[in-house]
Structure 1
Amino acid sequence: MGWLDYYFYNRDIITGPSVEDREDKELVIEWELYLRRHFELYTTNNYILNLDFEGGYDPYVFRQYDRYGYDESKKIYSMKKSKDTYELYGQIAVSADYRITDNFVTTAGIGAEYRNWDKVNQNSASNWRWQRLQ
């Protein structure tokens, strides 16, 4: 899935370290890529044990310009956000289904997600952390 947008801003965005580096429009490309797989590990008449995996980019964003902001302590414009950002994740879950009747099934499961929330810039996304699923 992907999007191609061209934004017209009602104000200038700072695109470089100089005061003259300003734009009021920008091309933004955003796409998402997911890989999903479901496995039935064990099945009987009333029980099913499942293993599910999902992972991918959520989303990958390419902007035409880097974002700069004024740093009061240094009295200069410095980069605040890279033009290429992304979140990459992997999620695994184990679930058990119990069929009470043909029309009524209960499910219990547990899972974990691994995602680079802290660092999303392309050149610095190396610190990962575990997050429990809701």
Structure 2
Amino acid sequence: KPPTISIKTSGRVPKNAKEFSVALPCSGNVSGIAVFSIGLLIQSRKGKPVPGTPLRIKLRKECAHRGPDPECDKKCANRGVCNEDKICVCPEGYMGQYCQTALCYPQCMNGGNCTAPGNCSCPLGYQGRHCEGGICSEKC
């Protein structure tokens, strides 16, 4: 969308102070910064510039793409997806900046590692869903 302004581009200036707004919508699938200037020329009835004009206003608008971002989604592991702020939202059972850490509850014991939600990889000598049981080399 092109920029819009709430005042007419030409016409009479009211005697009282007048406020106006400039709308600069972000559009497209890009992020970036737009910089531009507006010049406001006020003329007398005789067509002469009023002292102090033209007024020059420099505007800057930063746009951030907010929508599906395949590059961001690639960073999210374990079916995590990016939200509008480019932060991975993790599915249940995962956490971390990129959803890379599985959660086990209760936690894996005896030095076991959580490899998937609720699943522990046990070190040598331990067994069980949470590595809670030792493995006997002889009859226990």
- Is the TM-score greater than 0.5? no
More strand by share: 1
Q: Shorter-chain TM-score: which interval?
A: under 0.3
More helix by share: 2
Please say which structure displays the higher CA radius of gyration: 2
Q: TM-score scaled to structure 2, two decimals?
A: 0.26
Q: TM-score scaled to structure 1, two decimals?
A: 0.27
